[in-house]
Amino acid sequence: MLNDFLEKFGNPIWGLDSSKKFKNSIIKLLGQMAKSRRKKPITSSKSYKKLEDRFINSFLPKEKDYALELLDLARVSYKLRDDDNIYLGKIEGQLYSVLSESKKRLGQRFEFDMKNLNIEEAILALNNPDYKPVIKNKDQFKGMKVKVKPRQLTGQPAGQGLAVGKARVIKNPEDLFKFQTGEILVCDAIDPNITFVVPMASGIVERRGGMLIHGAIIAREYGLPCVTGVSDAVDLIKNGQEIVVDGYLGIVIILQDKP
């Protein structure tokens, strides 16, 4: 069933190809999701018709047409905003598949390790048989090296509530497979292609955005505490650290270093 899904829709996780390695990881993650008591969207128990009527009735009778037009515009805008990210994710997935195949082909031509080969160097090497690709050291891809030990980080309150739990920092697609139920999701921004782990989280911290970023909207949909716009969140917060997410004030408190 998973093979059929990947054939039709591509890899559901951004930036990953459909190799056997990732298929097994996806199956493992799906098993954990099935066993966990995932949160359900708050609106799942509400009647959409009642919500729509309440919105329209908040306008004056003479403004009903305007209210309906505004509602239609909001629905189209919401769909366009998320769809373009999903399509871009699919394109990125194809790019990673091409890069994976390029590494295999170039690996037969050159003796050195192709693990850290980037797409630009792959294109140059494939188009020019005499070109020797430049492979950067893995350490060159690391983010900023932080020496300070932050205790309290500030951002924008984007989802009401308080959450305490261990941080799970997502820097690349593979990190998603390590996510455990009840952890606090810390990332650059929640892409629609990784939304499926949100019901397993107890809170959300994002480096980018404000009240209207995708992750903030999803957090409110599930009733999760959320703080966005936390500068360098993925570098200042470490995996396993006990943190508090204050979605009322927009504060993230680091209680202790990871064990």
Distinct helix (H) and strand (E) counts, the chain: 7, 8
Give whole-number Cα distances, 239 to 82, 88, 151, 184, 245, in Å.
28, 28, 15, 10, 15
Cβ proximity of 95 and 119 under 8 Å = yes
- What type of residue is 167? A
Cβ proximity of 107 and 115 under 8 Å = no
Q: Is 119 a catalytic residue?
A: no
**3-class DSSP string for 187-245:** ECCCCHHHHHHHHHCCEEEECCCCCCCHHHHHHHHHCCCEEECCCCHHHHCCCCCEEEE
C-alpha 67, offset from chain centre:
33
* CA-based nearest residue to 198, from 68, 35, 33: 33
Cβ proximity of 82 and 214 under 8 Å = yes
* CA-based nearest residue to 179, from 239, 112, 109, 228: 239
103 CB neighbour count, 10 Å cutoff: 16
The residues with which 159 forms a beta bridge, in sequence order, are: 226
Question: Of the listed 214, 217, 233, 237, which one is catalytic?
Answer: 214
* Active site residues per annotation: 214
